Amino acid sequence: MRTETPAPVRLEDYSPPSFRIDTVDLDIRLAPRATRVAARLTIRRAGDAPADAPLILDGDELTLVSLALDGQVLAADRYRATPSRLEIDKLPDGPFRLDIETRLDPDANTKLMGLYRSNGTYCTQCEAEGFRRITYFLDRPDCLAVYTTRIEARASEAPLLLGNGNPVEQGEVPGTDRHYAIWHDPHPKPSYLFALVAGDLACVSDRFTTAEGRDVALNIYVEHGNENHCGWAMDSLKRSMRWDEETFGRCYDLDVFNIVAVSDFNMGAMENKGLNIFNDKYVLADPDTATDQDYAGIEAVIAHEYFHNWTGNRITCRDWFQLCLKEGLTVFRDQEFSADMRSRAVKRISDVRLLKSHQFPEDAGPLAHPVRPRLYHEINNFYTATVYEKGAEVVRMLKTVLGAADFRKGMDLFFERHDGEATTIEAFLACFAEASGRDLNQFALWYEQAGTPSLRIDSDYDANEQRLTLTVVQHTPPTPKQSDKPALHIPVRIGLVGPTGAKLSHGAVTGAQTTGDVVHITAPKQKVIFHDVADRPVPSLLRGFSAPVTLKSDLGDTDLLFLAANDADAFNRWEALQTVVFKTLIAQTFAGPRQQPLEIDPRLTAAIEATMTDDTLEPAFRALCLQLPGEADIAREIGSNVDPEAIHLARSQMRAGLATALAPSIKRIYDGMRETAPYAPDAAAAGRRALKNVLLDYLGHAHGGEYDALVRQQFDAADNMTDRLAALTVLVHARLPGYEDALSAFADRHARTPLAMDKWFMVQATAPREETLAAVKTLTAHPGFSAANPNRVRALIGAFASGNQSQFNRADGAGFDFIADFALDLDTRNPQAAARLLSAFRSWRALEPGRRARARATLERMAQASDLSPDVRDIVDRCLQ
């Protein structure tokens, strides 16, 4: 019997709360199985609320111990309490004081929401709706209160007691083995930003003086023994703090900033006010256990959470539909930070790759939703690539539309006008409209319409008239609950490249508004004319990926390869080459396995070789150009009737073909990228390793096995995880001689470092081979694996489901069944993690009929299961809709 689907929450039903909670005083007495939470709330009725409206507080699996109003115990007939709700009638207008005592069992909390223990450390996660698992509350983001938190625990069990804000007092509890600390956060905040940590942790400290002259203590807390692995995170934090001052004029606003790394955490990190809690994956790094990608990830996530202090915390969301107000904007800010710290072009290409591989498939499948959704069943399922990554693209477009100066004016106005408030996308956009004097009504549709718009651009050059005419057609495909969609305001950056490869100038542009090189496309179909163009140009369209659309143009391979070699816009050089590579891969996929060896257009091979050997280009950029699109990317471009096995074969053949054809130059560049200096995580050194390792992947897959020993040699000699893991991946995925020994050697070396062992699980789970499913099943019994730890689940099970297209989508359906069964079991303990795992099914409708039928059967089987969590129910139902 299937479980009931609860009623959805709708944006149009928003109404402000009937009561205000001004202050929250918490007294939390920690014990592993019986924690006691005494909450004292100062409440008053909202000015416009009806006098007889009851107070309805949210709860989730709570046990009420006692309840008092203004110091008087409340009679049982004055309230109704269930684990999920506390309702009190006949309350005065106030202000009045409510004392609520609840009892919790942190050890039994396997959902990792609310208060729980990770490796003996008490910690919390309250976003989105976890505070209601600690005490009854108006657990909604528009209820802002000032919090004071007293935390008490056994001194031996938890010598460290951390809360939000600034420390006020600490001491012993006389006559007991317990101690306490009091924290006060002067900034009103919503309950989702509440946090506490208590445990026995090591601390790494530093200081930062803000531009306003505030001296801030910075602390990073980690498990004992990890103190030496926090240097990069601390460095990233200080750089983030300075950058936000310089770029957005935003200073930190408390005397302490604490970061705690825990090993059991459902996501990357959490921006709780003054007390950020992190998945240890985004804090701990040393060259032996973390890759360059990990270093970059730490820098980005530390920055992201820090930037939330202004975009999210000081200005928060009115309701959860406005999630992109804080997430899209903060992702945009962290992307800009990383671009300034590293190479802007490389960062942009990496971000667009991520957007296309994660967000585009989401937008094209049954889980598609607008950047600002209008309806949800389970808010935790809306922390998506659409809200985060597409949300960031919309903010970037806003900057492109307005120009940097007006964008900054709009941001300043937003900070000035809404500081201390819980607000909306409309209020955000109004600041930019006002600061720039522009009408943003059409632009606002980006927040409302789901689906990736397609843009078709055909060009026609008239030599007599010296005119280039671009015919631009836009269309946004239908998505669940949205069929017809009006035209969007799409900013398209365009440059004209002349026959020599140099910029070609032009006169007036008619048929569209322009600002600088940005052409504003606003109608379903537009003819844009560039006048006074002296030579036939090759148009470089959508430079820098100025809008999140799928672009199709009439540029042929000759023009694309010309752009790949000459475009002044690095993003478009990469994109042009990718477009030709995609065409080859797709043609090969449809040609079928018999066409072997694959015919690669010699002009493409030459272009790839030219990029690889051009040492005027950054190595990191060359690495990105050489990396073939992933199998899921090829599937996305094909769009329907996808055969993942054929895609895998086509991609393997192309890699082997290029490797064999270019082996001597690949080997020469590989040798040139070998490092003699000790490991450093900076962008330049990481770029050289990236190029070297993409070349190693080619060599390891060249016909004839000539380079097998080289791969093994790199594995044995590596003095850092980036090089070691790259070599291990080639050894295992290509099944080169000695791959099993290499796996054992890796496991021996890293057995005591779970984050390094995650890479060992991941390499095996992503091997594109028939045997992988059985291997993954066996690995679930490995002592280093634990289904209770989200990082382990992601490394083994998540990597198989989302990172191994040919094996998850096996023709016999066994991949689907394995993931479904694993998720159903996980759902009984950690619904959020289970729901996230099931997002691997988001593209099932695009599969060829046989696999599609298997996927449907598996989803239908899940839908029939009883006792599904709301999280999993929501994903399964939407996948099937």
Indicate which residues carry an active-site annotation: 305
CA dihedral of residues 186, 190, 192, 193 (deg, nearest 10): -20
Q: Which is nearer to Zn ion, 282 or 530 (CB)?
A: 282
> What residue type is assigned to position 372 of the chain?
R
653 touches 594 (CB < 8 A): no
Please give the DSSP secondary-structure letter assigned to residue 282.
G
Please choose which of Zn ion, ligand B3K, none residue 618 contacts, taking the beta carbon within 5 to 8 angstroms, the exact cut-off set by kind: none
Q: Kindly indicate which of the ranges 57-65, 235-243, 268-276, 354-362 contains the residues binding ligand B3K, using the contact rule CB under 6 A.
A: 268-276
Q: Which is nearer to Zn ion, 223 or 244 (CB)?
A: 244
CB of 276 to ligand B3K, least distance (A): 9
User: Which residues within the stretch 375-414 sit at the binding site for Zn ion (CB under 5 A)?
Assistant: none
Cα-flanking dihedrals φ and ψ of residue 282, to 5°? -100, 20
CA-based nearest residue to 250, from 337, 317, 189, 328: 337
CB of 124 to Zn ion, least distance (A): 17
Please choose which of Zn ion, ligand B3K, none residue 490 contacts, taking the beta carbon within 5 to 8 angstroms, the exact cut-off set by kind: none
CB of 21 to ligand B3K, least distance (A): 22
Q: Kindly indicate which of the ranges 302-310, 396-404, 734-742, 766-774 contains the residues binding ligand B3K, using the contact rule CB under 6 A.
A: 302-310
Pairing of strands 85-88, 55-58: antiparallel
CB of 510 to Zn ion, least distance (A): 42
Q: Which is nearer to ligand B3K, 258 or 807 (CB)?
A: 258
Q: Which stretch of DSSP H or E encloses residue 665? A: helix 644-673
Does residue 304 bind ligand B3K (CB under 6 A)?
A: yes
Report how far residue 286's alpha carbon sits from residue 324's, in angstroms, rounded to the nearest whole number. Answer: 33
Q: Which is nearer to ligand B3K, 280 or 327 (CB)?
A: 327
Q: Kindly indicate which of the ranges 68-76, 262-270, 443-451, 759-767 contains the residues binding ligand B3K, using the contact rule CB under 6 A.
A: 262-270
Does residue 358 bind ligand B3K (CB under 6 A)?
A: no
Report how far residue 27's alpha carbon sits from residue 22's, in angstroms, rounded to the nearest whole number. Answer: 17
CB of 308 to Zn ion, least distance (A): 6
Pairing of strands 145-154, 121-125: unpaired
| Per-residue interface string for the shown chain with ligand B3K, residues 90-129, x marking contact by CB under 6 A | -------------------------------------xx-
Provide the token pair at 686.
Answer: 């990481």
| One residue of 194, 310, 376, 383 binding ligand B3K per CB under 6 A | 383
SS (H, E, C) 429-441: HHHHHHHHCCCCC
Q: Which is nearer to ligand B3K, 378 or 645 (CB)?
A: 378
Does residue 271 bind ligand B3K (CB under 6 A)?
A: yes
| One residue of 139, 292, 327, 633 binding ligand B3K per CB under 6 A | 327
CB of 504 to ligand B3K, least distance (A): 43
Sign of the torsion formed by the C-alpha atoms of 429, 432, 434 and 440: negative
Helices in 342-424 by DSSP H: which ranges?
344-354, 360-364, 385, 391-402, 404-418
Burial class (CB in 10 A: 0-12, 13-18, 19+), 855: buried
Does residue 875 bind ligand B3K (CB under 6 A)?
A: no
The DSSP bridge partners found for residue 78 are none
Pairing of strands 275-279, 269-270: antiparallel
Provide the token pair at 455.
Answer: 């843009």
| One residue of 270, 472, 521, 826 binding ligand B3K per CB under 6 A | 270
Q: Which is nearer to ligand B3K, 371 or 492 (CB)?
A: 371
Q: Which is nearer to Zn ion, 24 or 193 (CB)?
A: 193
Does residue 642 bind ligand B3K (CB under 6 A)?
A: no
Provide the token pair at 655.
Answer: 């890699």
Q: Which stretch of DSSP H or E encloses residue 88? A: strand 85-88
User: Which residues within the stretch 246-265 sit at the binding site for Zn ion (CB under 5 A)?
Assistant: none
Provide the token pair at 596.
Answer: 């072997």
Does residue 267 bind ligand B3K (CB under 6 A)?
A: yes
| One residue of 121, 338, 380, 791 binding ligand B3K per CB under 6 A | 380
Please choose which of Zn ion, ligand B3K, none residue 267 contacts, taking the beta carbon within 5 to 8 angstroms, the exact cut-off set by kind: ligand B3K
CA dihedral of residues 407, 410, 415, 421 (deg, nearest 10): -120
Residue facing ligand B3K at closest CB distance? 127
Please choose which of Zn ion, ligand B3K, none residue 197 contacts, taking the beta carbon within 5 to 8 angstroms, the exact cut-off set by kind: none
Q: Which stretch of DSSP H or E encloses residue 316? A: strand 316-317
Provide the token pair at 146.
Answer: 């000032």
Q: Which is nearer to ligand B3K, 267 or 690 (CB)?
A: 267
Please choose which of Zn ion, ligand B3K, none residue 470 contacts, taking the beta carbon within 5 to 8 angstroms, the exact cut-off set by kind: none
Q: Which is nearer to Zn ion, 313 or 809 (CB)?
A: 313
Q: Which is nearer to Zn ion, 231 or 268 (CB)?
A: 268
Q: How many residues bind ligand B3K (CB under 6 A)?
A: 12
> How crowded is the C-beta side of 425, counted as CA atoms within 13 Å?
29
User: Which residues within the stretch 314-333 sit at the binding site for Zn ion (CB under 5 A)?
Assistant: 327, 330
Report how far residue 207's alpha carbon sits from residue 281's, in angstroms, rounded to the nearest whole number. Answer: 23
Q: How many residues bind Zn ion (CB under 5 A)?
A: 2
Report how far residue 544's alpha carbon sits from residue 549's, in angstroms, rounded to the nearest whole number. Answer: 12
Please choose which of Zn ion, ligand B3K, none residue 383 contacts, taking the beta carbon within 5 to 8 angstroms, the exact cut-off set by kind: ligand B3K
What is the DSSP track for 585-603?
HHHHHHH-TTS-SPP--HH
Burial class (CB in 10 A: 0-12, 13-18, 19+), 508: exposed
Please choose which of Zn ion, ligand B3K, none residue 270 contacts, taking the beta carbon within 5 to 8 angstroms, the exact cut-off set by kind: ligand B3K
Q: Kindly indicate which of the ranges 300-308, 364-372, 585-593, 657-665 contains the residues binding ligand B3K, using the contact rule CB under 6 A.
A: 300-308
Provide the token pair at 121.
Answer: 């450390």
CB of 385 to ligand B3K, least distance (A): 12
CB of 725 to ligand B3K, least distance (A): 26
420 touches 353 (CB < 8 A): no
Q: CB count, 10 Å around CB of 196? A: 26
Furthest-apart CA atoms within the chain: distance in Å: 97
Instruction: Provide the binding-site residues for ligand B3K, judged by CB under 6 A.
Output: 127-128, 267, 269-271, 304-305, 308, 327, 380, 383
Binding site for Zn ion (CB under 5 A): 327, 330
